[in-house]
Amino acid sequence: MDQPIFEGYRALDEDSLSHFLAGLPAVRERLGGAPEAWRVREVGDGNLNLVFLVHGPHGAVCAKQSLPYVRAAGPSWELPLNRAFFEAEYYRNIGPYVVGLAPEIYHYEPAQFCTVMELLEPHIILRRGLIAGTQYPRAAHDVAEYMARACFFTSDLARPFEAKNDAMAIFAKNQSTLRITVDLVFADPYRLVDRNRWTSPQLDGIAAAFRADGPLRAAAGWGYRFLICPQALVQGDLHTGSVMVTESDTRVIDPEFAFYGPIGFDLGAFTANLLMNAFAQPGHAALPGARDGQRDWVLAQIPLFWNHFRARFLELWRSDAAGDAYPAAMFADPAGAAALEGARQRFMDALFADMIGYAACKTIRRILGFAHNIDFDHIADADRRAACETAALTLARTLLLEPHNVRDAGDIVAAARAHLPRLS
Ligand code: SR1
Ligand code: MG
């Protein structure tokens, strides 16, 4: 592992965080009052980090710090601290393009691998809101806008390759998170490893069948493309747990897995998590059918998401292309313009195909691998949970093995409807 020793680092607690923040004049002023008056709470419930909410008499901030191990597994699973650096670097790269769609970053402290940022209140994690049965009218649209901007402006369509290569050289070192993705998304679900878990014994059969399924393993193996296709700076872990929302505001958070990869990787992550949430809805229903409306609303967000992403990415390509891909001067004449338009459509079709494949891989890993979603995990009744998970796995297998049947976002919804869990 590429893990230098950082002697100044220590995992912060409520007291040491207050002390640290007190030494940052702008943050101290933002919070107001004396540090003794600040209310500090550690609230991290993700897989990796410490997350503190700090309220002062005048304002509030959020502080996120790397731990030297995977929090969800404990100290035996060591993990370099430097993911915080890549998160800060990602925000630095995409910040100007996604103002209002990401948290404002106030400070990054290299020695502590700690980022101090805007505290998003009264936002909640999108996944939690959807599980609770709440609808967020802006979320899919805003995440699509975010992805279109962040991906377009970091791609060869928008920047000269020299700038992109410089950024790639930085993010190529984000190896420990990439290792997690390589292993947990594309390999673990298809092999027996101790860290895997699933709803057992209900899913024992389908887990074994997936491990034995040659065509499925070959289709999932296609995912390695994410290592060799540096289309844009992608967030790297853009599921519904990486989005904070209110009814009128949306922010994408947690880009510590950022790398140069296929744009479809982020698109697929978000799509997969909408699908899984929809498939989990009957498991959260107090009465049969009580969540059908919420399920349908969540499914309807998928075409909204893809169609807005597609439209905005194309708009940006037509208005802001300044990179080395398809240089404008080559396509200035009418024949060139028509040919370029055709190339744009094929480019978007390829992104869509990637999105489908990655959505399938990401669904399978959340049900058969190490890191699960509370969409399913919070269904207390194991039989009901297993029924929802089995339906999602079956859909994912179909998407991976029969991608030719899914040509547009409406086809995704149709495929989902054909595989919905039926709970009594
Ligand atoms: C060991 S980390 C497991 C997962 O948590 C993060 O949210 C990523 O999704 C990662 O794969
Ligand atoms: Mg995360």
Q: What is the pLDDT of residues 21-32, one digit of tens each?
A: 999 999 999 999
The H-or-E segment that residue 367 falls in is: helix 334-368
Tell me what the mean pLDDT of segment 175-181 comes to: 97
Q: 128 C-alpha vs ligand 1 centroid, how far in Å?
A: 17
Q: Whose CA is nearest to atom 4 of ligand 1?
A: 371
pTM over 0.85: yes
- The answer to whether 271 touches 305, Cβ cutoff 8 Å, is yes
Q: Whose CA is nearest to atom 2 of ligand 1?
A: 47
- The reported pLDDT for the residue numbered 223 is 87
Q: Whose CA is nearest to atom 9 of ligand 1?
A: 237
Give which of 264, 250, 280, 352 is closest to 133, Cα–Cα.
280
- The reported pLDDT for the residue numbered 130 is 98
- CB neighbour class for 87 (10 Å; exposed up to 12, middle 13-18, buried from 19): buried
Amino acid present at 94: I
Residue 247 — pLDDT band, cuts 50, 70, 90? very high
What would the DSSP string read from start to end of 92-113?
A: HHHGGGSTTTSPPEEEEEGGGT
- CB neighbour class for 29 (10 Å; exposed up to 12, middle 13-18, buried from 19): exposed
Distance in angstroms (rounded) separating the CA atoms of residues 192 and 349: 35
Residue 424 — pLDDT band, cuts 50, 70, 90? confident
Residue 8 — pLDDT band, cuts 50, 70, 90? confident
Is the bond preceding 122 in cis, omega lying within 30 degrees of 0?
Answer: yes
- The answer to whether 219 touches 361, Cβ cutoff 8 Å, is no
Q: 210 C-alpha vs ligand 1 centroid, how far in Å?
A: 21
Average pLDDT of the chain, as a whole number: 96
Q: 228 C-alpha vs ligand 2 centroid, how far in Å?
A: 23
Phi, psi of 255 (to 5 degrees): -90, 35
- Buried b / exposed e along 240-260 (16+ C-beta atoms within 10 A): bbbbbbbeebbbbbbbbbbbb
Give which of 291, 268, 272 is closest to 379, Cα–Cα.
291
- The answer to whether 277 touches 127, Cβ cutoff 8 Å, is yes
- The answer to whether 368 touches 203, Cβ cutoff 8 Å, is yes
- CB neighbour class for 170 (10 Å; exposed up to 12, middle 13-18, buried from 19): middle
Q: 386 C-alpha vs ligand 1 centroid, how far in Å?
A: 22
pLDDT greater at residue 4 or residue 20: 20
- The reported pLDDT for the residue numbered 420 is 98
Distance in angstroms (rounded) separating the CA atoms of residues 116 and 107: 5
- The reported pLDDT for the residue numbered 288 is 95
Provide the percentage of residues in the chain whose pLDDT is more than 90.
96
Q: What is the DSSP letter of 160?
A: -
- The reported pLDDT for the residue numbered 384 is 98
- The reported pLDDT for the residue numbered 1 is 40
Task: Indicate the SS3 state at residue 251.
Answer: strand
**pLDDT higher than 50, residue 34:** yes
Which residues line the pocket of ligand 1, CB cutoff 6 A?
Answer: 47-48, 70, 180-181, 184, 237, 371
Strands (E), 9-74: 39-42, 50-55, 60-65
Neighbour tally for 305: CB within 10 Å: 24
The H-or-E segment that residue 117 falls in is: strand 114-118
Distance in angstroms (rounded) separating the CA atoms of residues 273 and 239: 6
For ligand 1, what atom is nearest to the CA of residue 77? 1
Q: 237 C-alpha vs ligand 1 centroid, how far in Å?
A: 8
For ligand 1, what atom is nearest to the CA of residue 241? 7
Neighbour tally for 53: CB within 10 Å: 17
Q: Whose CA is nearest to atom 7 of ligand 1?
A: 47
Tell me what the mean pLDDT of segment 203-226 comes to: 96
Residue 2 — pLDDT band, cuts 50, 70, 90? very low
Distance in angstroms (rounded) separating the CA atoms of residues 354 and 276: 18
- Kindly identify the ligand whose nearest atom is closest to the C-alpha of 72: 1
To test ligand 1's pocket by mutation, which of 64, 234, 237, 367 has the most ligand atoms within 8 angstroms of CB?
A: 237
For the chain, how big is the Rg over CA atoms in Å? 22
376-414 confidence digits (pLDDT tens)? 999 999 999 999 999 999 999 999 999 999 999 999 999
Distance in angstroms (rounded) separating the CA atoms of residues 195 and 111: 31
Phi, psi of 240 (to 5 degrees): -70, -10
97-127 confidence digits (pLDDT tens)? 999 999 999 999 999 999 999 999 999 999 9
First to last CA, the chain: 49
**pLDDT higher than 60, residue 3:** no
The token duo for 343 is: 């190339």
Phi-psi region of 251 (alpha: psi -120 to 50; beta: other; left: phi over 0): beta
- The reported pLDDT for the residue numbered 403 is 94
Distance in angstroms (rounded) separating the CA atoms of residues 198 and 206: 10
Q: What is the DSSP letter of 77?
A: S
Provide the percentage of residues in the chain whose pLDDT is more than 70.
99
